[in-house]
Structure formats: structure tokens, C-alpha cells
Structure 1
Amino acid sequence: MNQPSQELSYKILIVDDVPDNLRFLSTTLSQHGYQVRCAINSAIALMGARNDLPHLILLDINMPDLNGYQVCQQLKADPITSSIPVIFLSAQDDIQGKIKAFTSGGVDFIGKPFQVEEVLVRVKNQLELQAANAKIQTFNQELEQRVKERTFQLESANHILQQEIVQRHRLEQKLRHDALHDSLTGLPNRNLFMEQLAKCLQNTVDCPERQFAVLFIDLDRFKIINDSLGHLAGDKLLISCAQKLQECVSKKNAIARLGGDEFTILLKDIDDVNDAVVVADKILQEFAIPFNLGNRNLMITVSIGIAIGNREYHQEIDLLRDADTALYRAKELGKARYEIFNQQMYLDAMSRLELENELRQAIFHQELVLYYQPIYSLSNLKLIGFEALVRWQHPERGIVSPDNFIPLAEETGLIVALGQWVMDQACQQLKIWQDKLPPATSLTMSINVAGEQLHDRNFLQIVDRIIDRTQVDSQYLKFEITESMLIEDTEQLIEVMHQIKNRQIQLSLDDFGTGYSSLSYLPQFPIDVLKIDRSFVNAMNVERQNLEIIKTIITLAQVLNMKIIAEGIETDVQATTLNSLNVEFGQGFLFSQPLTAEQAETIVIELTHKS
């Protein structure tokens, strides 16, 4: 094949049947000076490689006609293309797949989704290795000629050859190091970590009483920091976190960055689980100290999942999975803590996965249903609106409480589709009721909006489409957000909230008083309504402190010209007390449980008669 030249840019052929992948790789490599050609199937790839020999081929494994392994074998069988190096592309990260890739003739492997740094480093390394091989080959040819012509130059030529061999050896060592280490932090990557983990598992076979531990570590709320401060600050934080983790364990143990904000620690020899707990406690203590990033002190916590390795494990991936499951439980229980894996966690994870799949189907098959809880004026008990509450009508489990599926929807990203469905149905129902009411009668609809929805770049367009389709009067809509959202990417959130207000939609702050936001932040947000959390309402006649908190919230709302709604009112005493404190509106079982649309319409019709 044609040899790479320093005077000409390298030619790279990309083979993938997914246009988005071709665009991403083509754009990335072109921006770094490479000449790129693309092939969307195996036939074009084989023809293109033969007609215009590239220096390197990036080849997707999973394609509809010939798979990547078959294409590579044909390339290697053709004398014209046999020497072109092939890097395989695949979303599969299993060992058998990689072994098959290398036995088919591949020289390297890039996983999906693509990481720009990884793609560039692996491409650059292969081209450098190819250039080095070409240089050695050229020199060997020249050396043979020199030996024939001038035997007296043999000693000098041999010395130069040795230097080239040393350089090649160093290059090979560098390539192996780069293939097994994270380019950002310098820590071992997933591949090297799995090799080390496999050795520990083998040790338990040779010595059954031996134990080791895997700590799976994830930075809490790293995405918020990365999005708000930028990727450069995020990278600096990751480097600092890697350094801090290295300080927490001895050199005989292993630390790796698996990707993103995920790290792992391998404690290669422990007496019992307490050894792992000691390390986890030390990490939590170290991360309680703020990071200094230039002129900014940044606080970030970690969650840790611990799995104990012993002779009961046979595959390293199973041990990593169990540590990840324990990490999920630590996140679920509040973050900034560790959890030790047990079998019940695995069963819970399987149940959660099953529930996630069922929830996807429920959204698709419209098994969800909205209930509507009335909201009343506390002064005259007049109906002023409803809060839309989603329920899951499961074909086998019956009605599933939102407490059991909303957190799962938020975690998996399904909350965006779920929230869109709720908004569409609630607006449609409000429009039906608005059409039945006299023009002067106002009836509001409160709709809960998750933080993931507000951060979705299409959120405002979705709102506009729903309002346009349902023809609902937007001034009677209220979007409810939780207090915890106020600390997430504040500037972006304020901009989105103002855009919502521009559409005449009101904003309610739900569960006020239970979150972590500072009261000094509240005036920054264009909030119309504060909702007093039910926990304060339920305890206000029992603990004076809760009553004082409610009074403080009322005073704050009055200063900021906000309306107040009390949630969870269950007794006449609570309603009377809240009314005496000038709380305008309330909802709760005292007035009504959440109602079906048909039941709620009965109340709306009564309101029509009263009007």
C-alpha cells in the first residue's frame, strides 16, 4: 500500500452504516487535518479501499450486509489492501468481541459512544506506528544496498538500526500505555482495571480464602458543575478528584477512571469487609473538604458502592455490576455515602429494570391516567382550580403510586416524555372545562414540571405546541417546580422561567421549606405562588416550631407579592388556622382526594351553576 508521508495529510476511510456516526467521525478527523472518505456499506468500503488506498480504516462491526469482521478478513486476503491497518468501531465492550476483532486482523478498538480524545489518540497512534514501520522498512532496504556497495559502512548502519529498534520499542510501549490509561487523569482505564480484576479473581481460585474489594465511585451532581462552569473546569475537577483518590489508598492497590465521573478502586487483598469500609470512610472525609479550582472553592461529594470479591465470583464483569448496584443504592439513599452490596440489591435492581421497561411501554400504550385534586379558596371554600396528578394504571399491578415510578422516570430520562404527556392531557382537560364555564369564571390547572424537562432544550417549543393544539388559555396554567431545582444551573433556570412567564403561565414553588435553597436566592426567581409542604401543615398544631415556620413563609410570600397554597390539609382545625394566618388557598383530603376527570367534572358543573 502507499506509505504515509509527512508532506501529505493522512487518508482515512470510515465505514459505518449510521450516518450520524459518519458525520461525527468525519468532522472530528477533518478538523485535525486528515483527508476523510466515508463508506456506508461493505461493498463501497471494499471498492474504495482498493481504488484509493487509505492509510487507515475505521470499520464498524455491526453492519446489515457483511459485518466488520468479514470486511476486515476480505481486506487482509487482498494483497493490495492487506497491509492497511483497521481499527474496529463498536458499542459492545465485551472481551470476546475484542478478541474476534484482533483475530480478524484489526489493530485496535474504539468503543461507542465516541469520545473525541480517544478517537484522535488511537488514530494518531496507529498512524505514527505505521510511519515508524515504513521508516524502518525503507531504512532496511537502504541498508541492504549500502552493505552491497560499501561494507565499511556496516558498523555505522547497524548503530542507526539499533536506534530505530529502540525507538520502535519505545513507541510500542507508549501505545500500550495509552491503550490502557485514561488520557485526562493518567489513571488506568477500564481495560487495565478489568485485567487487574481478572488477576484477583484468579487468585481466589488458587487461594480460596483470599478476598478483595471493588469500590465503585461516582461524583454527586457532577453534570450540574460541568454544565454550569464549563468542561474545562469539569476536567480540572476530575484531575483533582483522581489525585485525591490516589492519596486515599496505598500504591499496592489499583485506581481507575472508567469514564465520565466514574472511578473504581481495587483493594487487592483484604481481611474482611471492614478494610473496604475504612477506605470508603476516608474517601468520604477527604471529599468533605472543598476543592480549590483557581479562584473558586468547589464542594462535591461522592457516592460509593462496595462489592467484596471472593471465590463465588467467576466473571469480573459480575463483580463490577454488583459494585455499581450498591452505588445506585447509595445514590438512592441520599448520596455522599457508601453502601455494601447484598443479594437483595440485585433483586431490587432486576425489579427496577423490569419496572423501567414496563413504564416505557405504559407511556407508549397510554396506560397512564390523570387524577385531579381540587384547590379551594380557604376564605369562602370556592373551587379555584385543580392540580393534575399522574397515576399508572398497570394491567397487572393496578394503580401504581407516583412515588414508585416518578423517581425512576427522572433517573432514566423518561420523565421528559412522561411530563409532556401529562401537560398535554391536563391542558386538553382544562380546555374542555373552560369551554363549559361562563367567560368570567376562572379555573386554573397546576402541572408538575421536573427539572429534566426545564433543562430539555425543546421544552418551550413543546409547551407552545401543546397550547396551540389544545387552544387552552395559558393564563390559567400553573407550572409547579420543586425547591431543589433552584440550586441547579441557576442562570439557565431563571432564563427558562422568564420565558414561561412571557407565555402568561404562572409559576408555583412546590414543597417550599423542605429543600436546601437559600431564602436570599428566592427573589431572583419569577415565582407567583408558594406551596407550603404538607409536613409543616400536618405538624403545625403539634409543634409550635412548624407553626412559626408557616408564619415565616407567609410573611416572605407577602413581601415578595406571592400567593400561598397549603398542601395536605386534613382537618377543619388546620383549615381554620391557615385561613386565620391569611393563607389564601388550600388542598387536601379535607376537601377532596384526587378525582378522575369524570368526578372532577361534576364539581366543575356545580361551579357553573353557582356562577
Structure 2
Amino acid sequence: MNYEHLDSDKKDILIIDDMADNLRILSSILTRDGYNVRKALNWQMALTATQTLLPDLILLDIMMPEVDGYEICQTFKAWELTADIPVIFISALDDVFDKVKAFRVGGVDYITKPFEFQEVLVRVQNQLALRSARLEILKLNVELEHRVKQRTCELEKTLQKLQQEITSRHKLQNKLLDIALHDSLTRLPNRVLFIRRLENALNRTQQESSYQFAVLFLDCDRFKVVNDSLGHPVGDELLLAIAHRLQGCLIPIDTLARLGGDEFGIILDNITDINIAIKVAERILQQLSLAFKLSRYEVFMNASIGISWGNKNYDRPEYLLRDADTAMHRSKAQGRGKYHVFNPGMHQKAIQLLELENDLRRAVERQEFLVYYQPIISLTTGKISGFEALVRWQHPIRGLVYPGEFIPVAEETGLINPINTWVLQSACHQLSIWQHYPVTPEPLTISVNLSAKLFSQPNLVEQIDRIIYENQLNPAYLELEITETVIMENTDAIKIILQQLKQRKIKLIMDDFGTGYSSLSYLHNFPFDALKIDQSFVKRMQENKENMGLVPAMVGIANSMGMSVIAEGVETQEQLAQLRSLNCNFAQGYLFSKPIEQQLVLKLLATAPQW
């Protein structure tokens, strides 16, 4: 088998990652920057790819099936042909990533997910430059050795030239080291150098009992809006201005670093009290609140800051930075333009909640959500009459997360609004697609839950109008499910919104009827088309067979008010027979089908099931 490198100057990069999305993103970034990129999903593919053509650089994911990233790296370093190829590890922020082990087995650097495009390119460029330098040095050494053997008569001249080349090599090495430890845009220390200085500070706390320091983690609020609207050159100019303003708030012994994107880290060195760090944070927030007069624009910017107190209880500098990051996200959740001091005594559950908030914010940005659809059955015909849209979170590490775990956090943080709007848009779009297929019954409805938080938005009806218009959907096929808590909060304002939706022929359903605290008088004041009986009442029918619990009363209330009834959580044939005997109109539950992915809906409809 032949092993060779490409003859052209185009560098070859091999990406080893079992996540296709990661491969696609990295490949796109690097290909666009002029690199030849090859991809491998597992160790066997990576080995084949390396045997076919030796790459100039390897990007290697830690979390790999069967053979993890550490073992793959160790194997490459043990193989003579690949021993000198630089390996950059890839790790998600949440991964248990042992950096000491990564460098021990031969890794030269690491990149964290989610990817910061510029950071990826700079790290790749740095390592390729270092490798080129090493190859050049090897080449020079061979040439020097040959010259010594061939030109013994010119020994003095050769030694003089050798010294010049060694000096040049040292300059090159120092230049590359500087590039590897500093941000290419701001020339500030980068994350690698920042972690080293954090480690030095922690070591000093072990040696000097009086020495104390603090870490500030700063994230710019709304920077992405500026970058997306005014362009990356303006974004770069703003980052330089922010870095300059931050330096003005510090003294020379402090460390300011750009950690990536719009995130900055600060080490306040040799301070005596946490209040000093708080005063610095307040001064920074005040300075960043002033307008930035750029070359073509005037931009306003603020930031969220997390503060952690450095002490000898920390084993690793990464943990200290993590706690500052956690505090920063807590300050962001409390309102932008604030600071928060990390409390080491926080309960572990609170930490887990912060991590969930972190993940959820990123999930909203990356649209990591899926819509599953559960069929709603007409008890008159026994056939599918519609589907309820149910959101799921496709977490990149934990897999499928159900709404009971993340919806309460989304409600608390305000993230429920973009999630809910996205689900509504996705469900309406999907229904508009299904309606073009002959297997789809007419009419087929889509039912979407609306959070109470959405009703605080002044443009809710306009948003729904836009979604219906964009998807060319008949509003009569759209059903919106609303809990009793919605109509309890601000009845006059909610009543107006519901009446506007009713005027558009949209069906309104009171969800989880019977579980709230509203009185029946509320039903007379709001234009609901149907009541949905909570599954807890359906389950109790079998426990109380004589009068079937409260379900007959609920059906009677709905019938007396001209409303339909939907029973959820139907799991047995006996429950189905009981509901039919009560003249319940619709039902859904595992007896018919669990919630399914959108690609399975047409297959289900094609079978024309009937119960």
C-alpha cells in the first residue's frame, strides 16, 4: 500500500467524529478556507483514510463509539508514519474532557463545541504552521549535516551560517508560540494562555496563604445581533473597541483574555476582598453601557458578568472558569447588563438547573427541537381526525428529552416563547405539506398547545396570522389548546385575544380541563369550541366503574354549552367503550398510537386505521 502526501500546497485535514452534523459543520468551515477535508465516522474509516493518504492535520472527537479519541490518538502517535501529524481534540463543553490525558497521549490542542468559526480556523492555522516549521527545521538539520560532511574545509563559514539559521529558527518558534497563545484579532491572551495563568494563580494560593484573586467571565449581550445585522467587519471593530475599554478598567498586573467569540476572561491578581472584584465588574458594566463610536456606526452594547473567587480549594483552573461561567449565565437569566457572584455553597440541584438553562438557550439558538404528532381519533367514525403537536428536545448528549423536564425551565426563563412559536410554525408547515397527499383525510386538523407566557406578547395574533399566511393554511384546520391558567391571569385582555382568534375560525380548546382552579362561570365568558379531559380523570374511570368518576359530568357540561369533548390518555379498550357510551366526541392515547415523528405520519394515514 502506498503512503504519500498531496504534492500541492493545499493542506489535507482528516476529521474523525461520529456526529454527522459536526463533520458537516467543520468540513464546511475548513473547505471554505481552502483546505482539502476528509471525514471519518469511526476508527476503521479513520485508519483506512490515513492509509490511503497521510493527512497534514487530524481533528479528533473525544466521545467516539468503541474506540475513544484518547486511544485513537495514542495509536496514531505509536505509528511511525503518523507520529508527527498534529492531533487537535474536539470536545463539547459538557463532555468530561481530561485535558491532561489529551496532551499526554499526544494531542497538541483542543476545540470546544459549539464551534466558534474563527477560533477553529486560527487553531488549525496555528498547528499547520507549527508542523510546517517543524518539517522545515528537520529539512534544515539534514541540509546542515550534509554540509558539514561535504565542506569540512569551510567549517568556520558553515558554523557561522548554522548559528544564523538557529537564531532564525528560534525567532520563528517564538513567533509561532506567540500566535498559539494570543487571539489573532485583539492580540489579547487566548483561552490557552488564560488557563495557564489561572493555573499559576492557583499554584500561588498553595504557596502563599495571603494570596487571593478573582476571575470574571464576561459575555457581551446582543453582540450576535450587531454581527448579523452590520456584518463581521463591524463586529470585529466592536470587539477591538470592547477589548480596549476593558483594558482601561484594569491595572497592568491583571490579565484580560479573549476566550472566544464575544466572551472575555479577566484575572484580578492579588486582591484582598471580593468587593474589589464587584467594584471592577460595576465599573466595566458602566463603561460598556456608553456608546461605541465606530468608523461608520454608533453601537450600544452591554454585558453579563460572572465572578468566582479564586482559592486553594480548586483542583483545576478549568473548574474556576466553569464557576465564573455559571455565575455569568445566572446574571444573564436575571436580566442583561448585570453581574453575579458564584456561591460555592449552592446546592447541586441549582447547578444542574443552570446547566439545563445553558443547554436550553443553546438549543433555542440551534433549533434542537423536534415535533412529534399524536393522532386524535373521532369516536363517531373511529378514524383519525387530526394530530396534536408535541415538542421534544433532541439534546446532543442526553438524547431525546421530554417536555416535562424542560418546559418548566423554559417558562421560567422566557425561552418558552421562541420554542412555542417554532412548534406552531413547524406544525402548520407540516399540515400544509400533508394536505397535498391523497392518503390525508379531509379535513385533517392540527392541535398546538399555547403557553400562558405567549399571551403577554402584544403581537401574538399577528404572529399567528403570519404563520397561517406563510403556510397557506385554512385557519379552520388549526386548533389551539389553552390551559385554565391563561384565562385566570388577565381575563379582559385574554378574552379580546381569544375572540380575535375565534373570528379567524381557529378552534379553541381548553386543555387539561378539571385540573385548574377556575370556576365554571369562566367557560361562559370565553369562546371555547372544545374541552380536553385530562388523562388522570380517564384513568379513574376504571377505578370507579359505577359512576365513572367525573368524566360523565365533564361531558355533560361540554354538551350543555355546545362544546366538543376530547379525552386524552386512553390506553385500554374498556376506556374507549366507556367514552363512547358517554358520547365523548374525540380521544387520543397509547391505545391508538404514541406520539410519532413527522415522517411516520403519512405511513400511519396510509393504513387508514379504524377503532
Which bracket does the TM-score occupy, shorter chain normalised? 0.5 to 0.7
Deviations 1:489-548 (A, max 9, x none): xx99996575278654899xxxxxxxxxxxxxxxxxxxxxxx9995797xxxxxxxxxxx
Q: Which residue is equivalent to 1:309? A: 310
Say whether the 8 Å CA contact 1:329–1:339 is kept in structure 2: yes
Do structure 1's residue 258 and structure 2's residue 267 form an aligned pair? no
> Secondary structure of 1:327's match?
helix
Q: Which residue is equivalent to 1:123? A: 124
> Secondary structure of 2:184's match?
coil
One-letter code of the match for 1:269? N
Taking only the aligned residue pairs, the percentage that are identical comes to 42
> Secondary structure of 1:105's match?
coil
- 306-315 vs 193-202, which moves further: 306-315
> Secondary structure of 1:9's match?
coil
1:249 shift after superposition: 1.5
Q: Which residue is equivalent to 2:37? A: 36
One-letter code of the match for 1:499? E
Do structure 1's residue 277 and structure 2's residue 245 form an aligned pair? no
> Secondary structure of 1:334's match?
coil
Whole-angstrom distance in 1 between the partners of 2:233 and 2:265: 23
Aligned pairs for 1:482-493 (under 5 A) are: 482=454
Q: Which residue is equivalent to 1:193? A: 194
Do structure 1's residue 604 and structure 2's residue 605 form an aligned pair? no
Aligned pairs for 1:413-424 (under 5 A) are: 415=416
1:184 shift after superposition: 3.7
Whole-angstrom distance in 2 between the partners of 1:349 and 1:53: 48
TM (norm. structure 2) is 0.62
Q: Which residue is equivalent to 2:134? A: 133
CA 1:305–1:56 in 2, change beyond 3 Å: closer, same or farther? closer
CA 1:196–1:129 in 2, change beyond 3 Å: closer, same or farther? closer
Aligned pairs for 1:73-92 (under 5 A) are: 73-91=74-92
Whole-angstrom distance in 1 between the partners of 2:559 and 2:223: 50
Whole-angstrom distance in 2 between the partners of 1:322 and 1:103: 26
CA 1:234–1:178 in 2, change beyond 3 Å: closer, same or farther? same
Whole-angstrom distance in 1 between the partners of 2:154 and 2:109: 39
CA 1:96–1:496 in 2, change beyond 3 Å: closer, same or farther? closer
Whole-angstrom distance in 2 between the partners of 1:235 and 1:13: 30
Whole-angstrom distance in 2 between the partners of 1:109 and 1:87: 5
Whole-angstrom distance in 2 between the partners of 1:322 and 1:171: 37
> Secondary structure of 1:270's match?
coil
Aligned pairs for 1:345-424 (under 5 A) are: 345-347=346-348, 349-350=350-351, 352=353, 406=407, 408-409=409-410, 415=416
1:277 shift after superposition: 1.8
One-letter code of the match for 1:204? T
Say whether the 8 Å CA contact 1:214–1:320 is kept in structure 2: yes
Say whether the 8 Å CA contact 2:205–2:312 is kept in structure 1: yes
1:408 shift after superposition: 1.3
Q: Which residue is equivalent to 1:523? A: none
Do structure 1's residue 461 and structure 2's residue 415 form an aligned pair? no
Whole-angstrom distance in 1 between the partners of 2:21 and 2:405: 36
Whole-angstrom distance in 2 between the partners of 1:212 and 1:125: 31
Say whether the 8 Å CA contact 1:290–1:300 is kept in structure 2: yes
Q: Which residue is equivalent to 1:499? A: 470
Whole-angstrom distance in 2 between the partners of 1:140 and 1:476: 71
- 262-271 vs 231-240, which moves further: 231-240
Say whether the 8 Å CA contact 1:208–1:311 is kept in structure 2: no
Whole-angstrom distance in 2 between the partners of 1:337 and 1:199: 29
Whole-angstrom distance in 2 between the partners of 1:493 and 1:158: 80
Say whether the 8 Å CA contact 2:427–2:448 is kept in structure 1: no
Whole-angstrom distance in 2 between the partners of 1:347 and 1:117: 34
CA 1:492–1:224 in 2, change beyond 3 Å: closer, same or farther? farther
1:97 shift after superposition: 2.7
Aligned residues: 489
Whole-angstrom distance in 1 between the partners of 2:354 and 2:441: 35
Say whether the 8 Å CA contact 1:211–1:310 is kept in structure 2: yes
One-letter code of the match for 2:560? E
1:169 shift after superposition: 2.3
CA 1:64–1:138 in 2, change beyond 3 Å: closer, same or farther? same
Q: Which residue is equivalent to 1:18? A: 19
TM (norm. structure 1) is 0.62
Q: Which residue is equivalent to 1:521? A: none
Do structure 1's residue 451 and structure 2's residue 414 form an aligned pair? no
CA 1:481–1:33 in 2, change beyond 3 Å: closer, same or farther? same
Q: Which residue is equivalent to 2:583? A: none
Whole-angstrom distance in 2 between the partners of 1:246 and 1:24: 34
Whole-angstrom distance in 1 between the partners of 2:469 and 2:99: 51
Say whether the 8 Å CA contact 1:479–1:506 is kept in structure 2: no
Say whether the 8 Å CA contact 2:306–2:342 is kept in structure 1: yes
Deviations 1:168-215 (A, max 9, x none): 323333333333333343332333222222222222222323332222
Whole-angstrom distance in 1 between the partners of 2:405 and 2:69: 43
1:275 shift after superposition: 0.8
> Secondary structure of 1:187's match?
coil
One-letter code of the match for 1:42? W
Say whether the 8 Å CA contact 1:46–1:75 is kept in structure 2: no
Q: CA RMSD in A?
A: 5.6
1:272 shift after superposition: 1.5
Say whether the 8 Å CA contact 2:468–2:475 is kept in structure 1: no
CA 1:410–1:533 in 2, change beyond 3 Å: closer, same or farther? closer
- 467-476 vs 180-189, which moves further: 467-476
Runs of at least 5 residues in structure 2 that lack an aligned partner in the other structure = 364-368, 375-387, 391-402, 479-485, 505-517, 536-550, 565-611
One-letter code of the match for 1:606? S
One-letter code of the match for 2:189? P
CA 1:346–1:324 in 2, change beyond 3 Å: closer, same or farther? farther
1:282 shift after superposition: 0.9
Runs of at least 5 residues in structure 1 that lack an aligned partner in the other structure = 369-387, 391-401, 416-449, 508-530, 538-549, 563-569, 576-584
Say whether the 8 Å CA contact 1:89–1:112 is kept in structure 2: yes
